[in-house]
Every structure is written in structure tokens, then in C-alpha cells.
């Protein structure tokens, strides 16, 4: 299934191994030594593939599947077609993601520093790092063990990276401290000076940005996203938060742990997001606004005021999503009534 030009496929695995990877257990009578070659969808799978049933609406597809093995919630196990090896699993989708990763591991890093890389003599690069072609690393940079820096990336003076980070190609890192296992995708820019000026009719004075960007463990930053450094306080992204492509995080922003920030969000200066916040795409947050824990925002929401924890919001300016939906419904109804009148008058 996975194109061998791009993906490595590891050797076949026994059902016993697969059950362990997926945190599943074999249904009665399943042969633990039976081997599978790869993953596949229920529709595409053959006798040597393992698949999963993630949702009750796919039960008919499951019943018609030719998959040799399948991860299934216990409640659906008795619907399996004859001959299919059933692995009982509380979270089949999650188990399948783990098995997919086991069959198709990320490229094994090839430790070493490419001879074309330009590395300052005061930089400290840990064991097992992979520094690719044309990477430029400035003075005082520290990179912990097992981290990979993609080709043509630039790591400026003083930056510190934790262990096992993956930095994509064409990335720019400056004025930042990264935790362990941080992923920064291609083209992202971390640590740029913030957009802060003292303005009046006599002209503009740029406020020096003397803060940094602090990025917690397991954070992911998407392709061509930008995270500006703080003006004095730091810009902070909490552990386990994931940020999608083309997102803008402005100076002094603080984002909590485990947040999900979808593509093209813009979080303006000094805004604060709590933990486990989830924003769909193209959301905007005004400066100095505080967003509580667990807030969820629909796509294109415009957040101009503080939002209490646990609220689900939509619209510009943002309101509880129930209100927003009612408002949209009300407006459409009014439009229909008016159109009715217009038609009567025609």
C-alpha cells in the first residue's frame, strides 16, 4: 500500500506482536503465530493485511472485508466474517495508528553531520544527531542527542534544542529553547522579532524584543508557520500542543498544554490560551485576550473578548456556538419571510 519510493515497510509481524503493539488481545481461537504483511483499509485488505473497524457505520464493510485480521471493539466481534482473525481492542483506530507506525517506521536517522553544513566551532551537537546538507548553525547553539536538522535550515546563535527533535528543511530557528521530541516542519520561522512599535504622529520607534520563544516537549509546529519571540516576557507554547501549517503566533502569546491549533490561525500579541484548547482553521484571537481551558472554536471564529473555560464558540465576534447557530437560523428564516413578501409583491 505505502509507496516504496517514500516509505519503508518492516518485515511481517505475528498477531501476538501486533496485539501487543495495539494494546489488543486475540479473540478465542486466533493463532498467535499467524503473520500479517502490512496494514490496509477494510475494503482494500487481503488475507495478509490487518485492518480496523473504527465506527459502527462501517459494520457492513467489515462484514464484507477480506482482511486477514482486524482490530475490533469487543461489542462488534461477533459480526466478523468467517476466517478473519479478530483482535479485541478498546480503541481500534488508535491501535491501528500504532500498527501502521510499526509497519512503516519513520526513516531511520542516519547520524552524522553532512560535510556541506556550516557549523560554528562553539556549537555543541550531541551524539546521534543528523545534520543535513547546507544546514547553518550559529555560535553557542546546543543540540541534544538524536535530533535531526533538515537540509538548508538555519539555527541561529544561542538556540537550544532538546533530544530527538525533528526539524524539517528550510526552517529558521532563532531566540528559542525547544524541549524534547519537538517537531518543526519545513519552512517554519521561530523567534522572529515581534510586531511591536511605539507610534505617534512624529513617527515610529520599534520596541526591542528581548524575550524568547519557549517550546515544551512533544510540541509540533506546522509548515511555514511563524512564532515570534516575546518583547520582554517570553512567547510560550506548552507541552504536547500541536500547531498546523501557516499559523501565526505573535509575541508574548502563552499557549497551554495539549492544545490543537489548526491551519491559518492567527493569535495576536499577549493573548493567552489555557490547556486543551481546540481551534479549527482560520480562527483569529485579538491581542491580550484570555481563552480558558478546553475552549473549542469553529473555523473562522473571531475571538475579541475573554472566553470562559469549556465554552464552544463560533462567529465573529465570537459567541457560544448554540447562539451562533440559532442566529444563523433566525437570519435565514427572516430572509425567507422577506423573500416570500417580495415574491408576493412581484
Instruction: Give the contacts of 75 (CB within 8 A, at least 6 positions apart).
Output: none
Cell numbers standing for residue 286: 485579538
Count of beta carbons in the 10 Å neighbourhood of residue 230: 25
Binding characters for a copy of itself, 96-115, by CB under 8 A (x = yes):
-xx-xx--x--x------x-
Which of 68, 230 has the CB closer to a copy of itself?
230
Count of beta carbons in the 10 Å neighbourhood of residue 25: 14
- Subset of 289-308 contacting a copy of itself (CB under 8 A): 299-300, 302, 304
Cell numbers standing for residue 332: 435565514
- Subset of 121-160 contacting a copy of itself (CB under 8 A): 132-134, 136, 140, 150-154, 156-160
* Closest to 177 (Cα-Cα) out of 229, 222, 226: 229
3-class SS of residue 256: coil
Minimum CB–partner distance for residue 86 and a copy of itself (Å): 20
Which of 41, 63 has the CB closer to a copy of itself?
41
Interacting stretch for a copy of itself, rule CB under 8 A, among 29-37, 78-86, 121-129, 321-329? 321-329
Which of 97, 145 has the CB closer to a copy of itself?
97
Burial track 55-75 (b if 16+ CB lie within 10 A, e otherwise): eeebeeebeebbbbbbbbbee
Minimum CB–partner distance for residue 28 and a copy of itself (Å): 27
- Subset of 211-270 contacting a copy of itself (CB under 8 A): 212, 222-224, 226, 228, 232, 240, 242, 244-246, 248, 250, 258, 260, 262-264, 266, 268
Q: Please calculate the CA angle 135-136-139 and round it to the nearest 5 degrees.
A: 145
Which of 3, 78 has the CB closer to a copy of itself?
3
Minimum CB–partner distance for residue 31 and a copy of itself (Å): 26
3-class SS of residue 244: coil
Binding characters for a copy of itself, 11-40, by CB under 8 A (x = yes):
------------------------------
Binding characters for a copy of itself, 43-82, by CB under 8 A (x = yes):
----------------------------------------
- Number of Cα atoms under 13 Å in the Cβ half of residue 137: 29
Q: Tell me the C-alpha distance between 189 and 336, whole Å.
A: 48
Minimum CB–partner distance for residue 245 and a copy of itself (Å): 4
Binding characters for a copy of itself, 168-207, by CB under 8 A (x = yes):
xxxxx-xx---------xxx-x--xx-x-xxxx--xxxxx
Active site residue 288: no
Task: Single out the residue of 286, 290, 293, 311 in contact with a copy of itself (rule: CB under 8 A).
Answer: 286
Phi-psi region of 240 (alpha: psi -120 to 50; beta: other; left: phi over 0): left
Minimum CB–partner distance for residue 140 and a copy of itself (Å): 6
* Closest to 165 (Cα-Cα) out of 116, 217, 114, 99: 217
CA 206 to chain centre: 33
Q: Please, are residues 181 and 126 in contact by the beta-carbon 8 Å criterion? A: no
Q: Please, are residues 243 and 249 in contact by the beta-carbon 8 Å criterion? A: yes
Size of the site for a copy of itself (CB under 8 A): 103
Task: Single out the residue of 7, 43, 74, 124 in contact with a copy of itself (rule: CB under 8 A).
Answer: 7
Q: Among residues 104, 114, 209, 251, which one is catalytic? A: 251
Q: Please report where in the chains the cell 547553518 appears, as a residue.
A: 136
The catalytic residues are: 251
Amino acid at each position: 500500500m505505502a509507496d516504496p519510493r517514500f516509505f519503508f515497510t518492516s518485515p511481517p509481524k505475528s498477531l501476538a506482536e501486533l496485539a501487543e503493539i495495539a494494546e489488543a488481545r486475540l479473540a478465542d481461537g486466533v493463532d498467535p503465530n499467524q503473520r500479517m504483511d502490512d496494514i490496509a483499509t477494510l475494503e482494500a485488505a487481503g488475507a495478509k493485511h490487518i485492518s480496523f473497524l473504527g465506527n459502527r457505520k462501517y459494520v457492513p464493510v467489515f462484514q464484507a472485508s477480506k482482511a486477514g485480521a482486524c482490530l475490533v471493539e469487543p461489542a462488534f466481534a461477533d459480526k466478523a466474517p468467517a476466517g478473519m482473525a479478530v483482535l479485541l481492542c478498546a480503541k481500534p483506530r488508535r491501535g491501528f495508528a500504532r500498527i501502521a507506525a510499526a509497519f512503516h517506521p519513520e526513516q531511520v536517522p542516519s547520524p552524522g553531520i553532512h560535510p556541506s553544513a556550516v557549523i560554528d566551532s562553539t556549537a555543541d551537537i550531541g551524539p546521534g544527531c543528523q545534520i543535513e546538507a547546507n544546514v547553518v548553525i550559529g555560535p553557542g547553539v546546543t543540540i541534544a542527542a538524536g535530533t535531526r536538522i533538515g537540509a538548508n535550515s538555519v539555527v541561529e546563535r544561542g538556540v537550544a534544542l532538546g533530544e530527538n527533535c525533528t526539524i524539517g528543511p528550510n526552517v529558521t530557528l532563532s531566540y528559542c529553547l525547544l524541549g524534547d521530541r519537538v517537531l518543526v516542519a519545513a519552512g517554519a520561522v521561530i523567534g522572529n522579532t515581534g510586531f511591536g512599535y511605539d507610534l505617534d504622529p512624529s513617527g515610529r520607534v520599534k520596541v526591542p524584543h528581548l524575550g524568547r520563544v519557549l517550546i515544551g516537549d512533544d510540541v509540533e509546529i506546522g509548515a511555514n508557520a511563524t512564532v515570534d519571540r516575546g518583547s520582554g516576557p517570553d512567547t510560550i507554547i506548552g507541552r504536547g500542543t500541536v500547531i498546523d501549517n501557516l499559523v501565526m503566533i505573535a509575541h508574548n502569546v502563552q499557549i497551554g498544554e495539549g492544545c490543537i491549533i489548526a491551519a491559518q490561525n492567527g493569535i495576536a500579541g499577549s493573548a493567552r490560551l489555557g490547556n486543551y484548547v481546540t481551534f479549527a482553521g482560520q480562527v483569529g484571537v485579538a491581542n491580550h485576550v484570555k481563552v480558558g481551558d478546553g475552549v473549542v472554536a469553529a473555523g473562522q471564529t473571531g475571538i475579541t473578548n475573554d472566553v470562559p473555560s469549556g465554552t464552544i464558540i463560533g462567529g465573529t465576534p465570537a459567541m457560544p456556538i448554540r447562539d451562533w447557530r440559532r442566529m444563523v437560523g433566525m437570519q435565514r428564516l427572516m430572509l425567507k419571510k422577506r423573500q416570500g413578501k417580495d415574491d408576493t409583491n412581484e
